[in-house]
Structure 1
């Protein structure tokens, strides 16, 4: 099969299109023919080697974290899916590789594709959908009337998280640029801050939750200050914490590293009587099934900026790296 692989780590490295062995099937796996794959900044970070301390993939390996396609084979113990099912998934860490013609995935990480979405639309959902679900539902347990600040509202996670937060009954504030104000308004944002001309810290106070996605440490500090006492900041960009290290089973010395690099942020949060959580989303087919219900009910709609042909996966990744995409970028494989 054809696949885009990481040959060696590095920011200037391109993914290499090559012939690659078709994946083998474990007893609980389904083999999915890839129709479309979502493109995420995570794919760049993995290629760059930014996460190799915590996710030590050994090059060469196939990149890609979002998939929609059709089940073509099932392992002997598979009970939830059959050949011909249209599915979507964010495969587990160490099982990634959606920039390819086929991928094998544990059935527990898979869900039936929403019937009202195309393959390209479905491929845009899993990673940002699960990130939003795990932040807003699982960790924060957002309730009606709470105030939620979602940074970068026009991005992949932002466009999904705004819709989910509104469904949960929250008052939603977000940041975006002038040209994307209408987009985030259409998704349900109540208070929109143009980050190029306005300072969110002067506009927001006593918030219950911040969904944080900006690597600038000053933005992190401002975000902690707009929370009410007992409020929570969930960061998608770090610093990673010992709790995260424990959850993914890292050795003691890496737990120590996370303790050291998150110490300053945790101290600032504690001083303000707030809570800092680092979220690195995990694969979860059951949660994706819940997301399917919301999409089929018309509660959440995918936002897609661009669809690239499979051969242009590197161009799609470069476009995502500009940080200017409105919603998600997808590659069409079949």
Structure 2
């Protein structure tokens, strides 16, 4: 029985939602359904979702790769208004439930719906400067970049940070946060993001650098750091890029990895080099972060967006009943554009 539309729920208020009913490509796994509006419990609030981004993690979830129970409403990012009674009623909030709509923890339904129930401790006040769509587009990419650079790497002013996959949404967010921090980002990728000064181009079969005559990532990084190597690194790609990223670090350098790469292209990490140069490597899986800790990251991001130090990514919006197309756009690769669902602008069900 589909518990989202069980007979016991039919007398309750209804809402439109995207429901994962099977694992597979978006067209096979997702359905636009009318389901019961969830009811908040003790210490929880009901949020009307005005905008909710679609992330690569949502694609993996819909594909059945995370083992989430079915049926399930997916989605983690959100921007909306608290509509339940209580001290937070009427507040405009933003954020990301790190494991909403997934198999982890309490298995809470996600944000790709008109309403979502969240713990009060997961709330962060939305920047007034941002629209709901812009606020939802910040989401997982920025809190991941913040957790990696600020909380894990403790990036300091004047340090260099090597960022793989710099044209992706996490890479773009990390580059902007590094600049705000007063650090020097060196971006590795297949497409040079706008405004990036130090870029190592790997678009061809032979790795090349547009900032030096070097044909190797490590050589290019050494050239850009006067032979010292990068102080820190954030690897958002994994696979074949992980090894040269490790080798590009200075002695006692620090690195965070958030992606392993394709299963058939796993990195061969030089363990002896890690030991001999006393490197510090950390893995980051954002789904295991506590929602309250993530809300505190958004509290720290808010003034940076309010003052214009950070800006939201480019956005394409979709009504909720076009969610399959939005998911497919992310799956196809959206060139650094955030795909955002608008549940409150949904066409009548």
Contact 1:319–1:325 under 8 Å retained in 2: no
Distance, in Å, in 2 between the alignment partners of 1:51 and 1:275 is: 28
Contact 2:164–2:241 under 8 Å retained in 1: no
Q: Which residue of 2 aligns with 1:28?
A: 43
Give the TM-score normalised by the residue count of structure 2. Answer: 0.79
Q: Moved runs in structure 1, 4+ residues, more than 4 A? A: 262-266
User: 1:119-163 deviations in whole A, cap 9, x for unaligned?
Assistant: 100001121121011111111110011110112222211121111
Structure 1 residues without counterparts, runs of 5 or longer: 76-80, 240-261
Q: 1:330 to 1:215 in 2, by over 3 A?
A: same
SS in 1 for 2:237: coil
Distance, in Å, in 1 between the alignment partners of 2:277 and 2:63 is: 35
Distance, in Å, in 2 between the alignment partners of 1:272 and 1:312 is: 51
SS in 2 for 1:157: helix
User: 1:263-317 deviations in whole A, cap 9, x for unaligned?
Assistant: 9748364355322211112232111111011110111000124222222111111
Structure 2 residues without counterparts, runs of 5 or longer: 1-14, 100-106, 209-215, 223-228, 345-349
RMSD, aligned CA: 2.2
Q: Which residue of 2 aligns with 1:63?
A: 74
1:315 aligns with 2:342: no
Distance, in Å, in 1 between the alignment partners of 2:267 and 2:325 is: 38
Contact 1:154–1:327 under 8 Å retained in 2: no
Q: 1:165 to 1:120 in 2, by over 3 A?
A: same
Q: 1:74, CA displacement in angstroms?
A: 4.4
Give the TM-score normalised by the residue count of structure 1. Answer: 0.82
1:211 aligns with 2:234: yes
User: 1:34-78 deviations in whole A, cap 9, x for unaligned?
Assistant: 1110110000111223233xxxx2111101110001110046xxx
Q: 1:330, CA displacement in angstroms?
A: 1.1
Matches within 5 A, 1:251-330: 265=269, 267=271, 269-270=274-275, 272-281=277-286, 282=289, 283=291, 284-330=294-340
Q: 1:328, CA displacement in angstroms?
A: 1.9
Contact 1:37–1:66 under 8 Å retained in 2: yes
Q: Which residue of 1 aligns with 2:341?
A: 331
2:84 to 59, 66, 73: 73
Aligned residues: 296
Larger Rg: 2
Q: 1:214, CA displacement in angstroms?
A: 1.3
Contact 2:113–2:343 under 8 Å retained in 1: yes
Q: 1:46 to 1:266 in 2, by over 3 A?
A: farther
Q: 1:176, CA displacement in angstroms?
A: 3.6
Q: 1:44 to 1:165 in 2, by over 3 A?
A: same
